[in-house]
Structure formats: C-alpha cells, structure tokens
Amino acid sequence: MTKINYFNRPDKPHEECGIVGVYNPKKNVAKDLFFGLFSLQHRGQESAGIATSSGFGISLEANMGLVSQVFNEENISKLQGGIGIGHTRYSTMGGSKKNNAQPLVTSGLRGEIAIGHNGNVINASELREELAIEFGSTFERSSDTEVILEMFANAPGKNWFEISSYVMRRLKGAYSLVVMNDNELIAIRDPLGIRPLCLGKLEDGWVVASESSALDNLGAEFIREIENGETLVINSDGIKSKIWNGSSKNHKMCVFEHIYFARPDSILNGELAYETRFRLGSQLFKEHPVEADIVVGIPDSSTPHAAGLAAESKIPYSDAIIRNRYVGRTFINPDQNSRDTNVANKFNPMKEIIQGKRLIVVDDSIVRSTTIKKVIAMLRKAGAKEIHVRVASPPIKSTCHFGVDMATLSQLIAANKTIDEIRDLIQADSLAYLSVEGLEKATKSKKSEYCKGCFTGKYPIPVQLEMDKLTLEKEIKI
C-alpha cells in the first residue's frame, strides 16, 4: 500500500518539532502536556509522545500520528505523576518511524531519564562513534536525539549545570531540550539560541515550551524566553538557572520562526509574532510598490503579512482565497498529479471578488514554487486582471542545517533560477521578494542576530553544503 503523508507542504519549509515540559507535583500533569502539545501541533505532525514520573520510574506513551490520534482518555490516565515532558515531531534527522518518536528514554549514570528535542545536531554521526568508545553506548534509533540522550545519561558532572556544560562543549547545531528524571525537570537552549524555548508559571508549578502560545493554552503566566546557552533546573528546591560561558553574545534564532513557523500569537524575542509579520508586509510594499485593486494573502500563514502590506499601501485587503481547513496541510502523494489536484482541494478563489481586479498576492515564502504557481492559475481562471506576487521573505537560496527540512539545493527554485525566470514560471505579472536588509529592519535585529543562512548561505557555525536526514539510519542499517 502506498504511504501518504497528509501534512507535508510542497512549497513551504517543513516545521521542526514542538516540546513542552511541566513540573507540578500537586497533580498529574499528563493532561496539561497533552493540551500543550495540541497547541504546538503546527510544529510537527509525524509523531507525538508524553513521558511522566510520579517518583518511581518513567512512564511513556509515544506513537506515530497527530496528538489527538496518539492520545485518548485511557492512555492519558496511565501516565501518572507531577513531572512530565511532551514532544510532537517532524523528522529532520532520522526516518519517520515509531522508534524515533519522542520523548526517548534511557538509563545511565544518573538513573532513568527522558528527553525531547527540537533542532538538529550536525555532528551527531561523529559523536555516536565517540560515545560508543567512551561510554559503551549502543544505538537503536536513527535520530540525533538519541545521541543527545546518551550524552546526558552518561556525561561526567556533579549536577545538571556541569553536565549541560559538558554536553554544550561537544554538540554542534540546534537543540532546545526538555529533560526529566524521577523528580526534576530540566530545560536547555543551545549556545546559539537557534530554536525557541520559553518559561511559564503555573499556580503550583512551572511549564516550559517551544512557544508561548502553549503556555496560554494551559493558563500559565508567560515569564520569559529562555536565553541561548541557558540551563534551567526545576525541582522541589524551586527553579535555578545558569548560562554556559561559551554561549554566543547575540542569539542566532532561526529567523523563519518570525516569518512562518511560530503561531502568530506566540512571543518571539520579546514581541508578538503577528506584529513582526505585519511589519514584514509593510516593509515589503515600501521596497516593491505596485498599483492594484485588492491585496490577497495566501491563507492562513500569509494573512498577517498581507494585512501589513495592505495597511502600508492603502489598498484594501480581501479574503479572496478561502482555505478548506479540514484538508489540513497539502497532501503529498508520490505523483505530481495528485499534488497538483490537492492544492485545488485546499484553496478556493472567490470569483465574484477577483474577476476583473488587479491583485497583489502575498506569500510568506516560496521554496519550490509548486503552490504559488497553482494558486496563480486558479486566480487567472477566476478572472484576475493582473497578479503581482510579493514574498515577505528573501529568496531561499540555501538549505537549512538546524532543524528545518527545506528541500535540497536542486529543488530550491531561487537557488536555480533568477527572479525574472521564477516570475515567468509561475506566470505572474510581477514578482518581488523582501530584501535581507528589509528583513532585518522588520525584525528589529542586528546583523549579528538571527540565523539567515537559508537566504544568505552564511551560517552561525560552519556546515557542509547539504545534509541527508537519513544519514544515521543508513549507518545503522535500520
């Protein structure tokens, strides 16, 4: 039977993962973890898992599927305890299979621990060989997360801060982590701060999560974002924090969190993502003005950008494209015909609004050009007079190495064609992208902040040209 992935998008970067951790000794936290993961579902749809502890060992439930498919009242009730972590996954290192579903659990020098990971460790292959010699580690899975887990389970150190420092000295890449044992919750953000992580306060405990929207869903008070290189330890003594002295002075958070990944109601680098996206759209029109009758965003991810462009241009915004929200993400089948058909299943243009009008169509990004090309064809069929495409990010010319599946160089349309050639390919009347300088201005960032490698080819640490997310799987012949 042909396997169909219902949630990959053919013309968007694929999300990474979502993590959440709860420390609340006065109650069972499994339901809080479930609802936290539910609000982070947009970050990964391949698998979901929850691990909890009541002080006498770790209980785990993890499987393939959406959060609502993996969990029910029966298996949630079996996850007892006031400490727990949860994870929802999109694979960026290791295949999409059950044994790679997180959290992962193992035993080592400090007993049984569990881990959930968002990001991508680029030296995982070398580390696995080293750990096999140093600690006698054996590996059963094909993800970089298992390498991180083995390090935390066996690394030398008298406390979690020393252990974390040891791990940070050796890991290269992106990793926001939630770690737990029988009585402690640990949260770690890598020294570059590439993936987001934040802290919230519950009435009787604490919660950490990839995005603040998950805190809102649990009724937790947003306290702050966790700093790059910071380790938090939460236990019966309260909460303690330490920042590794080798951390980057300025964070290098993936700028695509602002553009697309995070929910618009999440706080990133001190600001609501919606407000940043609004400014991206505004800056886009300042750089590339054009006359038109209406502004149209490709729903739903481009709506804030389109609203910002409309406000700047004084051109009316219109919901001229309706998204069928029950389709979910665009279906990807093995054949291109199925992919094209399902773009039409997802979007439906309103002919009565579009006919005879000049349109500015706003998209947050273009990877392969598959979706935007089909959307333009639908708008032409609906009677659009002119279609001017504006993209609220620079052209994606390089692949990502830090937790985002962004296709290969040969598939990136902007890495292989000029803007004029892309315009002709998608059959737009005009096409323009936001500049890197405009991106920096809209995100209120310094040149030394944020990872913009997919636009510039310059990364915060040296990387190889392309990486295969199945490398570890091939090595252990799973």
Q: Is 198 helix (H, G, I), strand (E, B) or coil?
A: strand
Mean pLDDT score, 351-375: 96
Q: Quickly tell me which residue has 């990872």 as its tokens.
A: 451
What is 274-444's CATH number, 2.160.10.10, 3.40.50.1100, 3.40.50.2020, 3.90.180.10?
3.40.50.2020
Work out the average pLDDT over 247-270. 94
- pLDDT for 14 equals 57
Check residue 222 and give its pLDDT. 98
Tell me the average pLDDT across 50-66.
95
Label residue 341 by pLDDT band (50, 70, 90): low
Average pLDDT, the chain: 89
- Identify the band that residue 64 occupies on the pLDDT scale cut at 50, 70 and 90: very high
Q: What is the pLDDT of residue 142?
A: 77
- Residue boundaries of the structural domains of the chain: 17-252, 274-444
User: Quick one: pLDDT band at residue 342, thresholds 50, 70, 90?
Assistant: low
pLDDT band at 464 (very low <50, low <70, confident <90, very high): low
Contact present, 18 and 211 (Cβ < 8 Å)? yes
Whose CA is closest to 196, among 433, 388, 38, 16?
A: 16
Residue type, 92: T
Confidence band, pLDDT 50/70/90 cuts, at residue 297: very high
**Pairing relationship of beta strands 198-202 and 205-209 according to DSSP bridges:** antiparallel
Q: pLDDT, tens digit, for every residue of 201-226?
A: 999 999 999 999 999 999 999 999 99
Quote the pLDDT of residue 43. Answer: 92
For residue 152, give the 3-state DSSP assignment: helix
Residue 463, pLDDT score? 81
Comparing 220 with 339, the larger pLDDT belongs to 220
Exposure string of 24-38, with b = 16+ CB inside 10 Å and e = fewer, is beeebbbbbbbbbbb
What tokens does 61 get? 């439930």
274-444 shares the fold of 17-252: no
With H, G, I as helix, E, B as strand and everything else as coil, classify residue 209. strand
Assign domain 17-252 to its CATH superfamily. Answer: Aminohydrolase, N-terminal nucleophile (Ntn) domain (3.60.20.10)
Tell me the pTM: 0.89
| Per-residue buried b or exposed e for 285-320, using 16+ beta carbons within 10 Å of the residue's own CB | beebbbebbbbbbbbebbbbbbbbbbebbebebbeb
Does the structure show a pLDDT above 50 at 176? yes
Q: Quote the CA–CA distance of 108 and 138 in Å, as a whole number.
A: 12
Q: Please, what is the end-to-end C-alpha distance for the chain in angstroms?
A: 20
Given pLDDT bands bounded at 50, 70 and 90, which one contains residue 279? very high
470 pLDDT more than 70: no
Across the beta sheet with 294-297, the strand order is 294-297, 358-363, 386-391, 430-433
pLDDT at 3 over 80: no
Between vectors from CA 321 to CA 316 and to CA 326, what angle results, nearest 5°? 140
DSSP string, 245-270: TTS-SS---BTHIIIIIS-TTSEETT
Across residues 16-41, what is the average pLDDT?
95
Query: Active-site residue numbers?
Result: 17
For residue 66 the two structure tokens come to: 């959406």
DSSP string, 260-308: IIS-TTSEETTEEHHHHHHHHHHHHHHHS----SEEEE-TTTTHHHHHH
d(CA 383, CA 476): 55
For residue 113, what pLDDT band results from cuts at 50, 70 and 90?
Answer: very high
Q: Find the mean pLDDT for residues 154-161.
A: 96
Other beta carbons within 10 angstroms of residue 203's beta carbon come to: 10
Directed axis angle between helix 144-154 and helix 124-134, to 10°? 40
